[in-house]
Structure 1
Amino acid sequence: MKVTGKIAVTGGGQGLGAALAKRFADDGARVVVLDLNAETVRSVAAAIGGRAFTCDVGVREQLDSAIDTIEDVIGPIDLFCSNAAIFGGDGSSGLAETPDALWESAININLMSHIWAATKLVPLMEGRGGGYFLQVLSAAGLITGPSPLSYTVTKHAGIGFAEWLSINHRHNGIGVSCLCPTAVATPQLALPAANEEDERIRAQVGLIQTPEEVADITIRGLAEETFLILPNERLGTSFLHKAQDYDRCLDHTARRVTAMRVM
């Protein structure tokens, strides 16, 4: 899918979301930016000549209302990018550290927001000949590693939903891509390592890409209508190895995660 001349809706308050919004605009899309923070979303939208909507995508009524308003006021949505996420603690967050309230937030934001958007938009898109969904997920949805429990589980579920959506609605013109980055640079990661522990953690993380780099790769993947967009090519190799020898993959990852936690 080429975004030129299309109406593209994306979460975009900061980081990768803001970089995607800018790249969509640079490529000629009419961009609508969603975010929970009104001030932030207005700033991002103003910088790219887009439109801003304040919305908590983890609340179905707010997401439905935003989609209705965009469709009525701006026009039919061609591309909907679901990229809001809640990380849910640090890498040591397991069963005991994941209360029900965190599970509910993670499920609603990381998974149900994708499902709610599709439930609302698929009938509209099919009625006008098609549309496209970009599901921003994570390497943690393909390879279980040091990410928090709720994040890992919901990202795996997000990939499953995206696969189902692609399989069951492509015949009506619905396209789907999954973007699975490994590590996207944050302001903290951009700073020099403060100590040896920071250096060790970054060495374990591996390739850290800027939001702009990931946005560029995403645009190319959308143009080719690639289902699985992997900014870090090594992830594809790891995913293949997982499929070829699941037990070996689990053993290797368990040792790696254990080593990270005892640093």
Structure 2
Amino acid sequence: MDVAGRSAVVTGAAGGIGAAVAEELLLRGAGVTLTDLQAERLTETAERLGADHPGRVSAVPADASRTEDLRTVLSEASRAHGPVDLFVANAGVPGTRELGASDAEWRQALDVNLLAHVRAATLLVPEWLERGSGHFASTASAAGLLTQIGSATYSVSKHAAVAFAEWLAVTYGTRGIGVSCLCPMGVDTDMLNHGRQSEDALERTMARAVTDAGDVLSPAEVARLLVDAVEQDRFLVLPHPQVAEMVRRKAADHDRWIAGMQRYADSLADDRP
């Protein structure tokens, strides 16, 4: 999909990867609707981007995991820039403690990291099938292909996000609908930096598990790779190429891979409670 002239929605767009994706889409000529729960920060980001791209930026504060909020965002995006051609499901929440997560924390992780994608696709795909085109991009994580040391909620919800994106591609990929799934390791975002600076030992361990595994990339670098994938109609986006080799090793010998991850987790034990 050539994004120039297209109408795009990006969730979780007040900062981090979402704001960077919005900016990259604008640089390539799209009209972009930003949405996020952080209304004040969202407005600041939209004003900053709008100054460089007048008339092509709109912002709608909303909860990306709520169907009615999504309806409002899609309606406003269509009014501002035309029927939505590209949806970037980027909003996410970080992981919580090992097996100490409450039911509410599990529900939040699954609602935001998975079901927000399902609900958006449910609203968009029927219209895209009628039009014969559309593209759904989701931000998952390398944790969705491998795992996340320290957080079951993050690992499980991101695995599910990857699985849903795969299902979308398999089911609708021959009917004009493109799907891309972003699976980075460390990206220089507030979420990662919060873990790095946390007084909580397990949060620091989770952050170290990410930063020790590879380079920490800028959101702009990751955004360029994602939008490239959208334009080239590619599914899997791996900003850290070593993840592909890790996945191959996992598939080749699952027991050996688990043993290696156990050793790696133990090597981080100094920071654990």
Query: Hey, what's the Cα distance between the residues in 2 that align with 1:203 and 1:112?
Result: 28
CA deviation profile, 1:221-257 (whole Å, cap 9, x unmatched): 2222110000000001101111111111111011111
Query: Hey, what's the Cα distance between the residues in 2 that align with 1:203 and 1:52?
Result: 32
**SS of the residue 1:208 aligns to:** coil
Query: Hey, what's the Cα distance between the residues in 1 that align with 2:22 and 2:256?
Result: 40
Match of 2:17 in 1: 16
Match of 2:54 in 1: none
Post-superposition shift, 1:78? 0.6
In structure 2, relative to structure 1, the CA distance for the partners of 1:240 and 1:62 (3 Å cut) is same
Match of 2:184 in 1: 181
> Could you tell me the TM-score, scaled by structure 1's length?
0.90
Unaligned runs of 5+ in 2: 51-56
CA deviation profile, 1:118-147 (whole Å, cap 9, x unmatched): 000000111112100011100000001315
Q: How many percent identity over aligned positions?
A: 36
Mean CA deviation greater in 99-108 or 53-62: 53-62
CA deviation profile, 1:8-38 (whole Å, cap 9, x unmatched): 1102111111111111101111011001122
**SS of the residue 1:262 aligns to:** helix
Match of 2:26 in 1: 25
Mean CA deviation greater in 68-77 or 243-252: 68-77
Alignment of 1:130-169 (within 5 A): 130-169=133-172
**SS of the residue 2:147 aligns to:** coil
Query: Hey, what's the Cα distance between the residues in 2 that align with 1:219 and 1:137?
Result: 15
Which of 64, 72, 77 is 1:57 aligned to?
Answer: 64
Mean CA deviation greater in 74-83 or 139-148: 139-148
> Could you tell me the TM-score, scaled by structure 2's length?
0.87
Q: Does 1:208 align with 2:220?
A: no
Q: Does 1:79 align with 2:83?
A: no
**SS of the residue 2:14 aligns to:** coil
Q: How many residues align?
A: 256
**SS of the residue 2:10 aligns to:** strand
Query: Hey, what's the Cα distance between the residues in 2 that align with 1:147 and 1:71?
Result: 41
